[in-house]
Amino acid sequence: MTGRAIIVGAGQAGSECALRLRALGFAGEVMLFGDEAFPPYQRPPLSKGFLAGELAAERLFLRGEAQYREVGIGLHLATAIGALDTGARTITTTDGTTHRFSHLVLATGARPRRLDLPGAGLAGIHHLRGIADVERLRPGIRPGARLVILGAGYVGLEVAAIAVKLGLAVTVLEAAERVLARVTSPIVSAFYADVHRAAGVDLRLGARPVAFQGNGQVTGVRLADGAVIACDNVLVGIGAVPNTELAAGAGLAVEDGILVDAAMRASASGVYAIGDCARAVSPFAGERVRLESVPNALEQARIAAGTICGGAPGAPEPPWFWSDQFDLKLQTVGLGAGRHDEIVLRGAPDSRAFSVFYLRERELVGLDAVNSPVAFNVGKRLVGRGIKLDPGELGDAGFPLKSLLN
């Protein structure tokens, strides 16, 4: 409960860990380092309300800088960490300043995956991870502009929904044969593909870009079949890469994320990792997984803070995710996609309110709920509980799902 706790990474995970330490009575010094100039902020609205111009940057901030000072958290913004020495228990900033720690939490997050294609350095090719990324893209979000989006995952489809509503000509290129292929079932994929096409999005599946074209500024994306999609701007949304370089350079165990145990402890004493950069054992997956979601970041932050303060990690909550597109809220709980042996559809996709249950040996391992908050809330309480369910009841829209909680 004493000493100096240093947290590297001022995102939602890092902020939550710092605040949780204070809430648990940690009496030592707490230092929170972030390489952006902004205080910790929410990232999900970046591809939604903030991109649409409905939210000012200040509305994204989790707290004002003064609020961190009030609880004794030293907030060090626009400060990157260049080196970590786990033996000497020091970090060194890129300007050469060294700080000793008793406890170190790595919350270094992830960065957008980039395409190494000819023309990748042209102006007008964007990625979306932070406030500055959106501010660079926003001038291109104007009626009549042509936007090509590479990748039909959450971010790509969310931006497509915003852009087409604002009058842009939007083309989404997805290399897989369906949208959201990594995270959901063909039922949900087909539904969202139909929704986007009905809204005017030019959605092309099985499309493989091979080059960007332009002279200084991108003007087109060339595909493997020779077609060229004309554009004014491109958004690359093909996933994220965990920021593990600092950890790997210090000799920590890394494998698509910093490897941690159930208490968020990394492979060196006194060092922890949380959030998008951490790969932790999950009872819901039966293996180590790296999850990119706000709920996961917050839960891991609380576990790490609790461990530092001498507590034991409690039972983990099922992971959950959400995506807002048009008038649709997709809420997912569990890691069911790819781990199920049966799918049960409840409701009709044409109604724009339905849910998909993923079962394994009749136990709920995952759920997708589209505009179906009751199903989502019930699913959060049933995933991973080992309860045998009746597929017929789940698929019967007249069956009261809440009765399963009794």
pLDDT 10s digit of each residue in the chain, 406 long?
A: 789 999 999 999 999 999 999 999 999 999 999 999 999 999 999 999 999 999 999 999 999 999 999 999 999 999 999 999 999 999 999 999 999 999 999 999 999 999 999 999 999 999 999 999 999 999 999 999 999 999 999 999 999 999 999 999 999 999 999 999 999 999 999 999 999 999 999 999 999 999 999 999 999 999 999 999 999 999 999 999 999 999 999 999 999 999 999 999 999 999 999 999 999 988 888 889 999 999 999 999 999 999 999 988 877 889 999 999 999 999 999 987 778 999 999 999 999 999 999 999 999 999 999 999 999 999 999 998 889 999 999 999 999 999 999 8
User: Considering the domain 327-405 in this protein, what is its CATH number?
Assistant: 3.30.390.30
The residue type at 117: L
* Architecture of the domain made up of 114-236: 3-Layer(bba) Sandwich (3.50)
* Rounded distance between C-alpha atoms, residue 404 and residue 385, angstroms: 12
Which residues does residue 213 pair with via DSSP β-bridges, in sequence order?
220
The beta strand positions in 40-136, using DSSP E, are: 73-76, 81-85, 90-93, 98-100, 103-106, 110-112, 125-126
Q: Within a 10 A sphere around the Cβ of 329, how many other Cβ atoms?
A: 16
State the pTM of this model: 0.94
* Rounded distance between C-alpha atoms, residue 98 and residue 297, angstroms: 27
The residues of the chain that CATH labels 3.50.50.60 are 4-111+240-308, 114-236
* Rounded distance between C-alpha atoms, residue 46 and residue 55, angstroms: 9
* Rounded distance between C-alpha atoms, residue 338 and residue 289, angstroms: 14
User: Considering the domain 4-111+240-308 in this protein, what is its CATH number?
Assistant: 3.50.50.60
Helices vs strands, H then E, count in the chain? 9, 26
Q: Within a 10 A sphere around the Cβ of 152, how many other Cβ atoms?
A: 29
The residues of the chain that CATH labels 3.30.390.30 are 327-405
Give the residue among 321, 331, 318 at the shortest CA–CA distance from 382.
318
